[in-house]
Structure 1
Amino acid sequence: MEELIDVLDDHGNKTGETVLKSIAHKQGIFHQTVHIWFYTKNHQILLQQRGKEKDTFPLLFDVSVAGHISAGESIEDAAIREIKEEIGITIAKDQLKKIGVFKSVQKHSATLIDCEFHHTFISELKVPLNKLTKQDSEVADLKLTSLLKFSEETWGLANLKKYVPHSTEYYKTIIKAIKKELQVF
């Protein structure tokens, strides 16, 4: 069954309307998503390789976990739900640290326009990689990479064909927030 999502104005405020996710993407209607970036104490970041059947950026590496917020669902509940669905672990709300909301508009085609506000969190990954269970319909692979390598490849966008093309500012915010949590300066 297709998901209903809350409609937002171009400032990220709820309008009180809902729409099917497919309609939002077809018509370029603003809506909310969650992004959760997991990091480890030994300075690694969890990357998700998008599934090969995804409509946008198939097989590129992206945020550890991401997804849409259903109509009426809280942001934190959506984050916890998506984490369970995509990588198979359960975390508590207090393990999520919100680092910002990012407006993103990407026109992929005449009938696929992502107009989203990404509610973005970081969280420490407290289980080993081999204990994660990826959602096969969404995720091709999961891998850990060093924060340094990730920084080099995204800040300068030196490897555009490897990562989903979020803005440099977005990637910098993620990396700085994780470095702050790890007390790496």
Structure 2
Amino acid sequence: MKNAIDVLDESGLRTGEVLSRSDIHRLGKLHRVVHLYLFDTKGRLLLQRRASTVDHFPDALTISVLGHVDAGESSMDTVERELEEELGLSRERVSTRFLFSYRRDAVLSEEYIDRQFNDVYAAWGDFALSDVAVDTAEVAGVCLVEFAEFVAMASDPSSALADVYRDEARDLVYFLAKRFGTTPQSICETHLPS
């Protein structure tokens, strides 16, 4: 089965059942995905503008890379595969670090039920926007934003950022605070709602 995905139990362990991406979402089965926040050497975050034709979050800004973990694949393998597939960047160009994992359940439509464990990674690499190659059927464009600008977008419900990333932004800021030269509490209190 092409794009087969492992179904998970409530603990995040495999059940032995394998389904297609469309069946996973149609049936609302638990599965694992990766979220990668990719920063350039200047500390700017790469964001994608979703195409208007995609099945979830059309026209919204999303994070650098997101993808379903295929059956038999680890989440780190997925990050490396999706980095190449979605952005055209090889794994050798970036340094990747696992940050945290959490579960999210959301009904986006009758045919698209997200019940997933999100493995969140951050990566840093030496690249320019001209190095990035996207699938124009899924992505309308890419941009680089300062981390503080992303934090502000995540705290503003009227921003173009897809709502799904607002939930994880608080913990992202917490784990990246030292790298960006501030304390986790001051960023969260200043820029994110409680």
Q: Deviations over 1:12-66 (max 9, x none)?
A: 1211221111111001001111111011342311111112211111010111001
Residue correspondences, number: 183
Matched residue, 2:191: none
CA contact (8 A) 2:94 2:124 kept: no
What's the secondary structure of 1:149's corresponding residue? helix
Structure 2: which amino acid aligns with 1:21?
R
CA contact (8 A) 1:60 1:161 kept: no
CA contact (8 A) 1:86 1:138 kept: no
Corresponding residue of 1:52: 52
**1:141-173 deviation line (CA, Å, top 9, x unaligned):** 11001111111121x2x1435011126441122
| Whole-Å separation in 2 of the counterparts to 1:130 and 1:115 | 35
Q: 1:163 is matched with which residue?
A: 161
How far apart, in 2, do the equivalents of 1:138 and 1:43 lie? 25
- 1:110 partnered with 2:110: yes
Residue ranges of structure 1 left out of the alignment (5+ in a row): none
Q: Given the alignment of the two structures, is residue 30 of structure 1 paired with residue 11 of structure 2, yes or no?
A: no
Instruction: Please tell me whether the aligned partners of residues 94 and 123 of structure 2 are also in contact (alpha carbons under 8 angstroms).
Output: no
What TM-score do the two structures reach when normalised by structure 1?
0.90
Q: 1:176 aligns with which of 174, 177, 180?
A: 174
Contact 2:83 2:90 in 1 (8 A): yes
The letter for the 2-side match of 1:111 is E
Mapped pair 1:133 → 2:133? yes
Q: In the alignment, does 2:74 pair up with 1:74?
A: yes
CA drift at 1:93: 10
Q: TM-score, normalised by structure 2?
A: 0.86
Distance in 1 of aligned mates of 2:9 and 2:93: 27
Cα distance in 1 between the residues matched to 2:62 and 2:176: 16
Q: Secondary structure at the residue paired with 2:89?
A: coil
Q: Which consecutive residues of structure 2, in runs of 5 or more, have no partner in the other structure?
A: 184-194
